[in-house]
Amino acid sequence: MGINLNPFTWWTGASWGTAFGLRGKARVGEDSLGNVYYEGGADTAGNPRRWVIYNGINDASRVPPEWFGWLHHQVADVPSRALPAPRAWQIPAEPNLTGTIAAYRPSGALEKGGVRAAATGDYEAWTPDA
């Protein structure tokens, strides 16, 4: 397709309507995946409204944990100021890989040949008469 679908579709990124709706809202940060976060206005409870504009496909699993906490008002300030620096042993969060080539497939999966490992012999099937 040679047509830019961004003006009309929400699943390929922010549409023009979203960009228009974010006028006057404050850009508060960007995460390691390139998602951009905004804040402005208030909801019916008086809490500030918060948005994420995804860099690529709209998938909630692509929001890192620290920004998830900010979006859901678990952290009052942006993560870079409110949270401690990540520890050396922490690994970066990964999005949900289901449906991709990198998804987990156990040894008996059809994509891996569909052959399970033989039973070890310690399994005894349940029977109602036993």
Banded model confidence at residue 121, pLDDT cuts 50, 70, 90: confident
Please give the model's pTM, rounded to 2 decimal places.
0.68
Pick from 18, 21, 1: which is nearest to 10 by CA?
Answer: 18
d(C-alpha 56, C-alpha 33), whole Å: 9
Tokens representing 4 are 């830019």
Please say if the pLDDT value at position 88 is more than 50. Answer: yes
